[in-house]
Amino acid sequence: MTQASQAPKSAIKLYQLVLANARSMSPFVWRVNYALAHKSLPVETVSLGFTEIASVCGGRFKTVPIIEDGATAVGDSWDIVDYLERTYPSRPLFATPGEYASARFFDAWFTTEVLRRMFGTCALNIHDSARPEDRAYFRSSREARLKTTLEAFVAERQARLPQLREALSPLRQHLARYPFIGGEAPNYADYIALGAFLWVASVCDVPLLAADDSLAPWLDRGFDLYGGIGRDARMKALMG
Amino acid sequence: MTQASQAPKSAIKLYQLVLANARSMSPFVWRVNYALAHKSLPVETVSLGFTEIASVCGGRFKTVPIIEDGATAVGDSWDIVDYLERTYPSRPLFATPGEYASARFFDAWFTTEVLRRMFGTCALNIHDSARPEDRAYFRSSREARLKTTLEAFVAERQARLPQLREALSPLRQHLARYPFIGGEAPNYADYIALGAFLWVASVCDVPLLAADDSLAPWLDRGFDLYGGIGRDARMKALMG
């Protein structure tokens, strides 16, 4: 085995999904973006609309994020993170196998209890904010999966908002004790959650959190990380 | 600072709560029991009924677990675990601060989404299984907190069972990937969850999980740990 190198030969290309206003809008791209920043790896972002994903890397990937690192292309956010940890082991995202397993559990919890409800709040907003040429594809692919129209899917979203806010309760308890989900320093669980809030902030026209939500200081700290890469997504859009 | 010693001078005394049938029934005692076993520390268990807790350690503690290690008495399961890690650092429960923080998050999630619902299922069973002399105290202290009778509190428990089973969904997803919550090896998150299932198994007359619940292999592995200290709590009691 050759020793893993500590820096890529040139910037890692990160394909991201954009809306009509060029704002980045995938929670999974955001977490990879944070992972690259955590590891201080150079990145070059390439913007795609929904219908352009199949046009890169020979159509191998159906979703973003995708990275290209020299001749290597990797899709799926966990596969990308695994690749980055293996190839560039310095500034690890996971110091131990136990930390890795706990981030996997966090992702299972967050996806089931929070991310799914976020999508139920802003699915139609995503459609309406997508590039005009992407809207028909977004609608037909999502409606086939949801087995209903986007309009019907989000119809009760105001009434369901308390469930979403309630689902964040374990996070509030934890962040009453620590500045970050990872403890004194942010870890990949922070990036998973911050990326999802950035996604919502980029499209949603309903304030996801109450104006006095105790998650606000953590969101502020998180959006400030790494030179404020999350800052442009306007915290204001999240809070009632 | 003196170097922490690696073994106690004599067995650590662990006060546990017991029912009329002498079965141990506190999820918080169980997690400490597992923590002591994980660290291979010698333990001597002392059984108490609810109304006897005030009679030990000069009445300093209102709840179990309590440990006595020589002249040092510690209550509260997290304080105990912190004490054990500090005093007996070998075989750590948490290899890194990140692992510790993630166990704290797991506890916040599990307590909010699962443990609370478990209590809503078996609160009256606990009363009925307690030592006769403990029942009036258990009823009055819990009813004051719940602001209703134990009977009213559990009246809808069958109808609420699907919510409890659904709340375990992130755990099922995680354990489809790993043998333990901690990954390849059990960690304190496993002990938190196993201890709660053992508590339920010791009292509950409703099967908490469906007979084909995919959590079963993990429960089996967990109850087998450390010479099967959890084994006597009868897995059968949990499964429909």
Higher pLDDT, B178 or B54: B178
What distance in Å separates the CA atoms of residue B146 and residue B152, rounded to the nearest whole number? Answer: 10
Whether residue B186 has a cis bond before it, omega within 30° of 0: no
What distance in Å separates the CA atoms of residue B17 and residue B169, rounded to the nearest whole number? Answer: 30
Identify the pLDDT of residue B1. 42
- Pick A96's closest partner by Cβ from B95, B174, B178: B95
Identify the pLDDT of residue A2. 47
Identify the pLDDT of residue A231. 78
Per-residue pLDDT of chain A (240 residues; tens, 9 = 90+): 444 567 888 999 999 999 998 888 899 999 999 999 999 999 999 999 999 999 999 999 999 999 999 999 999 999 999 999 999 999 999 999 999 999 999 999 999 999 999 999 999 999 999 999 999 999 999 999 999 999 999 999 999 999 999 999 999 999 999 999 999 999 999 999 999 999 998 899 999 999 999 999 999 999 999 988 877 655 556 666
This model of the complex carries an ipTM of 0.93
Contact predicate A112/A105, CB 8 Å: no
Ranges for all domains in chain A classified under CATH 1.20.1050.10: 97-238
Taking residues B172-177, report their average pLDDT. 98
Higher pLDDT, B3 or B184: B184
Taking residues B128-148, report their average pLDDT. 96
- Residue A218's closest CA among B91, A204, A183, B181? A183
Q: How far is CA B181 from CA A82, A174, B132, B188, B194, in A?
A: 19, 19, 37, 9, 10
Higher pLDDT, B200 or B235: B200
What distance in Å separates the CA atoms of residue B158 and residue A124, rounded to the nearest whole number? Answer: 37
Identify the pLDDT of residue B24. 82
Q: How far is CA A234 from CA A38, A88, A201, A230, in A?
A: 21, 32, 7, 8
Identify the pLDDT of residue A238. 64
- Residue A43's closest CA among A61, A63, A20, A66? A66
Closest chain B residue by Cα to residue A174 = B105
Q: Please give the model's pTM, rounded to 2 decimal places.
A: 0.94
Contact B102 A100 (CB under 8 A): no
What distance in Å separates the CA atoms of residue B104 and residue A183, rounded to the nearest whole number? Answer: 9
Contact B101 A169 (CB under 8 A): no
Contact B96 A100 (CB under 8 A): no
pLDDT at B234 over 80: no
Name the fold adopted by B12-87: Glutaredoxin (3.40.30)
Taking residues B147-160, report their average pLDDT. 97
Identify the pLDDT of residue A202. 87
Contact B174 A96 (CB under 8 A): no
Pairing of strands B66-69, B72-75: antiparallel
Mutate to test the interface with B, among A102, A188, A191 (most CBs of B within 10 A): A102
Residue A141: HSE in the Cβ half-sphere, 13 Å Cα cutoff:
12
- Residue A32's closest CA among A10, A7, A52, A15? A15
Ranges for all domains in chain A classified under CATH 3.40.30.10: 12-87
What distance in Å separates the CA atoms of residue A32 and residue A205, rounded to the nearest whole number? Answer: 25
Identify the pLDDT of residue A239. 65
Q: Please give the helix or strand (H or E) that residue A32 lies within, else none.
A: helix A27-38
Closest chain A residue by Cα to residue B174 = A105
- Residue A29's closest CA among A89, A69, A81? A81
Closest chain A residue by Cα to residue B168 = A109
Closest chain A residue by Cα to residue B175 = A105
Contact predicate B182/B190, CB 8 Å: yes
Identify the pLDDT of residue B102. 98
Identify the pLDDT of residue A24. 82
Contact B170 A113 (CB under 8 A): yes
Q: Which residues of B touch A163 (CB under 8 A)?
A: none
Say yes or no: domain A97-238 is CATH 3.40.640.10: no
Ranges for all domains in chain B classified under CATH 1.20.1050.10: 97-237
CA distance A20 to chain B (A): 34
Q: Which residues of A touch B104 (CB under 8 A)?
A: 174, 177-178
What are the tokens at A39?
């590891």
pLDDT above 70 coverage of chain B, percent: 94
Highest CATH level, class, for B97-237: mainly alpha
Identify the pLDDT of residue B239. 65
- Residue B192's closest CA among B126, B97, B111? B111
- Residue B74's closest CA among B90, B93, B88? B88
CA distance A37 to chain B (A): 19
Q: What is the pLDDT of residues B54-99, one digit of tens each?
A: 999 999 999 999 999 999 999 999 999 999 999 999 999 999 999 9
Q: Which residues of A touch B170 (CB under 8 A)?
A: 105, 108-109, 112-113
Identify the pLDDT of residue A63. 92
CA distance B105 to chain A (A): 6
Identify the pLDDT of residue B2. 47
- Pick A105's closest partner by Cβ from B98, B174, B185: B174
CA angle (A61, A25, A73) in 5-degree steps = 25
Taking residues B208-218, report their average pLDDT. 95
Closest chain A residue by Cα to residue B99 = A99
Q: How much is the mean pLDDT over chain B?
A: 93
